[in-house]
Amino acid sequence: MEILANCIRSNILIALFLSIGIGFLIGNIKFGKFQLGGIAGSLIIAVIVGQLGFNIPGVLKTAFFALFIYAVGYEGGPKFFGALNNKSSIKFVFSAIFMTVTGLICVLISAYVFHLDRGLASGLAAGGLTQSAIIGTAGSAISNLGLNPALTKQLETNVAVGYSVTYIFGSLGPILMCGTIFPLIMKWNLRKSAIDLETSEAKGIVLEENQTLALEKVTSRIYEITSSSKYLGKTAKELEMDFHEKIFFVDLLQNNEKIKVENFDNYVFKENDWVVIGGKIRSLIQLPSVLGEEVFDTNNILNTIEYRKSIIFNKKDLNNKTADEIKALLPPATTLGFVISQVFRKGEELPLSPNFKFLMNDEIILIGRNENITRSFKLLGESTPNKNVINYITFSVGIILGILIGHISIPFGSVPVSLGTGGGCLFSGLIFGWWRSKNPKIGGIDHGTTNFLKVFGLVVFVAIVGLNAGKSAIVTVEKYGMTLFWLGVFVTLVPQIVTFLFDYFILKIKDPIKSVAIIAGGRSSNPAFSEVLRKAQNSTPVLPFTISYAVANIFLTIWGPIIVGLVTKN
């Protein structure tokens, strides 16, 4: 054991990844509806491993937290600024702000009455309000106070301790309140309310769990041209135009062999041709009656390729027009050979309908023949940057800007308060994420990468905090353990109850699903949202949760330096 301890003690990377690995192992274990989670699990294990004694440089911790918080801002920017401009969503914003301010007040009351130092108060906020980012922003603010190194380290340790002690109920409390207690008190049936809400929003179309609108999907099928086919002797162009460009001819077989077609638009259908037709299913299901019999033996045509490309719509003369209006202004041949599969605006997918109007900077997904899609680019817009490639220029500028913003100091009483690197990078991430959604032709960060940065950046950060905490963490737990736990219960429950009453009586948010989803989002509680989704069994809680969650993430993260500035005990 001593050899193993020395090996871990002499290699920071082993200690770091050991903490992360075991932390996620225990964090993934479920106890009923409760799950500790990988972040909290890694912090706890890191504190245990930290008993061996570590002193990891602070710049490493700061770097990983900057990556995490920038990704949070980048992903939430479009939703945050979009909610501010949406009248129907502004109540969700007010509710989330009210929740976070109430949470801050509860933390400050606890710190004042029970004489908590800056570190413990910040940790109480991070755990009781389940916002791990506070660990970073508060830690950054503490390091800027100019205190002696030993005291600074103790305060940073106390942040981690406060978080560890209060996080468990901080995570469990919203699950109970949103999933059980509020509905029980109000005599709400969340499933029935979700069905009613979805029916009103979907005009009678209600999707159950694991269901989807199959007729809106793009797929391909094979048909054999028969002697009775309406299109025997006619061109593919005629077929596609008759079906209003909802289908496209993509491949051909004759006598069980693939045939190369030089010009798909002008190809003339012959008897016994096997043709692969792609498009919207609602159009494809009509083809057997006019084109030919559907063929299900696909062994010889499995390697058919159709192309999926994304373009940025940027033609001012076609702006604010429907697909039919746009087609009327373009040469007929330029609208053949592909279908519009999806449309995204400011990062959100929009439902397509005959009356849907395309706006500048919409991202349009086209599926069909490569040459036809390429030809359309010149008339509709330009190719979208590869989403799997990060624009490291804007990414680097965003991080640098965030660091500079974080160094701006504003006097708060007698204490200079700054956002720190974390708060600054959150702010710059919001701006760059929103800017990218408004200008999709500028390369950004793909969704998979932002998810990786959020999880890995935060878990490395909290693991370093835990490893540095060492034995001083045990001393703090022994001194404040149960007091901190009950203060965590207070900070967890009171903001939810007060906000629920505020939403119901002041904001007049009385729809059951919206009400509990907003509470879960304002508490920055993914576990509570999962419970609400389980009860609803449809997607109606997503919008209110997403908006309130984005707002709460921003405000709760900023509370770190605010708490450090308002709490004066060291």
In a domain, 385, yes or no: no
Collapsing DSSP to helix, strand or coil, 427 comes out as helix
H helix or E strand, kind and range, residue 507: none
pLDDT band at 210 (very low <50, low <70, confident <90, very high): very low
For residues 412 and 561, state if they share a domain: yes
φ/ψ (deg, to 5) at 166: -100, -10
In a domain, 387, yes or no: no
Range scoring the smallest mean pLDDT among 458-472, 495-509, 516-530: 458-472
State which of 380-394, 409-423, 455-469 shows the largest mean pLDDT.
455-469
- Check whether 212 has a pLDDT greater than 70: no
Distances from the Cα of 405 to the Cα of 32, 44, 208, 394, 422, angstroms: 43, 32, 46, 16, 10
pTM, to two decimals: 0.66
For residues 285 and 313, state if they share a domain: no
Question: What one-letter code names the amino acid at 29?
Answer: I
Indicate the number of domains in the chain: 3
For residues 163 and 193, state if they share a domain: yes
For residues 266 and 148, state if they share a domain: no
For residues 175 and 270, state if they share a domain: no
In a domain, 241, yes or no: yes
Give percent of the chain with pLDDT exceeding 70. Answer: 90
For residues 417 and 526, state if they share a domain: yes
Q: How far apart are CA 72 and CA 454, in angstroms?
A: 6
For residues 401 and 535, state if they share a domain: yes
Q: By the 8 A CB rule, do 523 and 129 touch?
A: yes
In a domain, 2, yes or no: no
pLDDT in tens, 130-170: 887 888 888 888 888 888 988 998 898 889 888 878 876 88
In a domain, 151, yes or no: yes
Q: How far apart are CA 442 and CA 436, in angstroms?
A: 6
Give the domain range for residue 261. Answer: 230-290
Distances from the Cα of 160 to the Cα of 47, 55, 119, angstroms: 9, 15, 8
Q: How far apart are CA 54 and CA 39, in angstroms?
A: 20
- Check whether 129 has a pLDDT greater than 90: yes
Question: H-type helices in 267-369, by residue range?
Answer: 281-284, 323-329
In a domain, 421, yes or no: yes
Collapsing DSSP to helix, strand or coil, 342 comes out as strand
Half-sphere exposure of 310 (CA within 13 A, CB side): 15
Considering only residues 503 and 262, tell me which one the structure prediction assigns the higher pLDDT: 503
In a domain, 9, yes or no: no
Question: Which CATH number does the domain housing residue 355 bear?
Answer: 3.30.70.1450
Give percent of the chain with pLDDT exceeding 90. Answer: 18
Cα Rg of the chain, angstroms? 28
In a domain, 532, yes or no: yes
For residues 66 and 170, state if they share a domain: yes
